[in-house]
């Protein structure tokens, strides 16, 4: 799933702090603007991924024009892809049992093929990943 949420960037003595008005308890900081944006993307994705895995409702993002900010703050949109986090955190291998014709098994084994890798590649291709 891909999301876009507004984030409020507040200049600090060193770097920026970042809060998300629509995501309670979701905040971070960075040593400079580039770092703050990177950290904002990371924390937003982790928060939304956590909500997804718990089956909780994802809040509706606020309209960026309606987000209240203080004089020295600015608002920027942060996008994240929770599918990326899913692949990263759920990359543990699981055993699957499958059946193929004996002649195909013999031929593939003689060719030294890696069944697991071929199945993964085929599934990714089929799913457009």
Q: Domains for the chain: give ranges and CATH numbers.
A: 2-89 (3.30.160.250), 93-129 (no CATH)
Q: What is the pLDDT of residues 69-100, one digit of tens each?
A: 999 999 999 999 998 878 777 666 777 788 88
Query: Tokens 């008005």 — which residue?
Result: 21
Q: Regarding predicted confidence, which is higher, 84 or 47?
A: 47
Closest CA to 11 of 78, 69, 80: 69
Q: What is the pLDDT of residues 14-36, one digit of tens each?
A: 999 999 999 999 999 999 999 99
| β-bridge partners, 8 | 19, 75
Closest CA to 6 of 20, 26, 25: 20
Average pLDDT over residues 45-56: 93
Query: Would the pLDDT of 38 be above 80?
Result: yes
pLDDT for residue 80: 92
pLDDT for residue 91: 64
pLDDT for residue 116: 86
**Percent of residues, the chain, with pLDDT higher than 70:** 97
**Neighbour order of strands in the sheet with 2-11:** 27-30, 16-19, 2-11, 74-81
């Amino acid at each position: 799933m891909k999301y876009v949420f507004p984030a409020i960037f507040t200049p600090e003595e060193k770097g920026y702090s970042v809060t998300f008005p629509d995501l309670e308890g979701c905040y971070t900081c960075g040593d400079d603007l580039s770092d703050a944006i990177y950290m904002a993307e990371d924390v937003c994705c982790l928060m939304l991924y956590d909500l997804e895995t718990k089956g909780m409702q994802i809040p509706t993002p606020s309209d960026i024009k309606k987000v209240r900010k203080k004089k020295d703050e600015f608002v920027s949109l942060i996008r994240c892809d929770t599918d990326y986090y899913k692949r990263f955190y759920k990359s543990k291998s699981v055993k699957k049992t499958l059946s193929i014709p004996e002649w195909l098994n013999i031929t593939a084994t003689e060719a030294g093929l890696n069944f697991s890798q071929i199945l993964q590649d085929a599934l990714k291709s089929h799913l457009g990943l």
